[in-house]
Chains A and B, each alone.
Chain A
Amino acid sequence: MADTAASTSRGPRGPKPKRIFSGTNILLYGILILVSLYYLVPLWVMIMTSLKTMPEIRIGNVFAPPVEITFQPWIQAWSQHCTGLVCKGLSPGFWNSVQILVPSVILSIVIASINGYALINWKFKGSEVFFVILMIGAFIPYQIMLYPMVIMLRELGVYGSLTGLVIVHTIFGMPILTLLFRNYFSSVPEELFKAARVDGAGFWGIYFRIMLPMALPIFVVAIILQVTGIWNDFLFGVVFISKAENYPMTVQLNNIVNSVQGIKEYNVNMAATLLTGLVPLVVYFLSGKLFVRGIAAGAVKG
């Protein structure tokens, strides 16, 4: 192990370590397994608690698997749990989130991809300045833009509605997505663009026939980024939605679990929490390396 040399962006290379049970190795894997436990325990606890009955929760401990598996908490959390007078569970929140998610993802990605393409291939005086402002904007705390945004949405007549929230997500998703597409298109050889221009293709012609088909992988990365980001949003949901029946899933979840009235049903709470986390988790486990690529794109500037 001592001569381990990490290298290249593709991963470790060279011969495998010879002695598997050397002291260093035991320490290494020991630490990693312990650390993994810290990361896995919450997921385990969530699943186990959501499958237990309340009497069992009261006598047992949170880490123990259920003696008797019940799916009642899941059903309860999904469609029967009461918040106030409404007893529909989390499902309305789920559908609200879907209705917010789908248009936001499509709209923000379409706009950002066109912006990124225009920024690289159709530069005009000052276009870079706008891009730099957009990048700085990504670091501005949202709080400072919330109120003017409320006023704008109110003027447009969409404050409090799902449409309003779609606009908000599209706006605040723009910096990162534009960066993503701009960096991708800047790696496309310029000759390709020039050749298309010589052949008479215009702005949209080049975008749809050349850039779009080439950028499909980056579209997937953008979708992953947006789906998890928008699904997990809480602040915008609280601020820009005014009616409880329009709340996205995260807001509804928080209202259910942190409600002060009634008896705490921990199993239902955990089932609800899992249900809310399910969409990003599925995206994460299905996307694998693309997820990493998405967050790396967000983290490391090009």
Chain B
Amino acid sequence: MAVVDQSAAPVSAERSAARARKPNKLFRNLTAKIAMIPLVFVSVGVFVGFTIWTIVYSFTSSKLLPKLNFVGFEQYTRLWADRRWLQSIENLAIFGFFSLILTLVVGFTLAALLDRKIRGEDVFRTIILYPFALSFIVTGLVWQWILNPQFGIQHIVQSLGWTSFQFDPLNNPDIVLYGILIAGIWQGTGLIMCIMLAGLRGIDDDIWKAAKVDGIGTLKTYLRIIIPMMRPVFITSLVLIAAGIIKVYDLVVAQTSGGPGLASQMPAMYVYDYMFGGQNLGQGFAASTMMLVTVAIILIPWAYLEFGGKKRG
């Protein structure tokens, strides 16, 4: 199918470089290029094109339909004056902060425990990871039921004799985010534990032996030697968790629908409601652009740390 004679090329290590020097470049390996059309379309057309489209339209006054009448930063000023948006950002910050710290700490601790040559490692790993296979909707609904004040944890503790016990996170605006946090941690720590465990297994035996010889305790070895060595793993986990947090949507929809009041609203819900519910497209576009900016703020330093200087290939 491909109409190229490659017999001269294998000498060169970089096949593509050798090929590129020959004439009639565009039609060389035509089949391969045709096969790559989906990739090119999705990367350039969808990911770049759609993103730019939304950013451009976020500077317009689009209401029911997208229209190109530019109004500058008006949508953004309105967005940052909206109580609901501000509340969502605050919620996301609180939820994100605790979610990040807890997932990292719990994920690493569990990985370290599983790495202590224990019996039944597979069983424990299977148990800790299975929630990750479940959807956020299922997660949210189960925890909604367990945290149900009438039948769940609060009721049980009360019926055990502690009648003044109060734990009703999903209906208490002050602690609703922690109710969601419990569910989020339940679903997400398994993944981080697996990544951390892979990282721990990658650490050379000799490090442990050296630490032992030097008389450094186990805990201290973890804190002073192992964790600094696992920096790349931690950074990868951090990026994964952060990217997940910013997108948090289904979990909250299932567990609280953003309530009580605005107490568990999230940016992704704001975007959805304005784009598909409120028919105020400009606001939805502006809000989603802000989400992209947030991701970029996290991602760009990471990409710089991770790939800065060296080229991937």
Which residue numbers of A lie inside 8 Å of B, CB to CB?
A: 1-12, 14, 16-17, 28-29, 31-32, 35-36, 38-43, 45-46, 49, 57-58, 61-63, 111, 114-115, 118-119, 122-125, 127-128, 130-134, 136-137, 139-149, 151, 171, 174, 178, 194, 197-198, 202-205, 228, 231-235, 238-239, 250, 253-254, 257-258, 266, 269-270, 273, 276-277, 280-281, 283-285, 288, 291-292, 295-296, 299-301
Contacts and interface: CB of A to CB of B under 8 A. Distances in A.
Contacts of A203: 1-2, 29, 31-32, 35
A115 B46 contact: no
Given A61-B156, A280-B134, A124 B29 contact: yes
Contacts of B93: none
Contacts of A28: 113, 116, 118
Given A140-B47, A231-B135, A32 B32 contact: no
14 contacts: A4-B218, A8-B205, A9-B201, A29-B118, A62-B156, A144-B288, A228-B133, A231-B135, A232-B138, A273-B141, A280-B134, A281-B130, A284-B133, A292-B194
Which of B33, B42, B271, B295 is packed against the most chain A CB atoms within 10 Å? Answer: B42
B38 A111 contact: yes
Contacts of B191: 295, 299
B276 to A, nearest CB: 6
Interface stretch (B76-84, B172-180, B245-253): B245-253
A124 B16 contact: yes
Contacts of A6: 115-117, 200-201, 203, 205, 208
B51 A140 contact: yes
Contact of B47 (A111, A136, A250, A257): A136
B253 A143 contact: no
Interface of B: 1-2, 6-7, 10, 15-16, 19-20, 25, 28-29, 31-33, 35-36, 38-40, 42-44, 46-51, 53-55, 57, 66, 110, 113-119, 121, 124-139, 141-146, 148, 151-152, 155-156, 159, 186, 190-191, 194-195, 198, 200-205, 208-209, 212, 218, 236-237, 240, 243, 246-247, 249-250, 253-254, 257, 268, 271-272, 275-276, 281, 284-285, 287-289, 291-292, 295, 299, 306, 312-313
B35 A114 contact: yes
Contact of A258 (B142, B186, B254, B287): B254
B195 A11 contact: no
A143 B6 contact: no
A143 B121 contact: no
Contacts of B288: 141, 143-144, 146
A139 B284 CA distance: 19
A130 to B, nearest CB: 5
A171 B275 CA distance: 21
Nearest to B32: A122
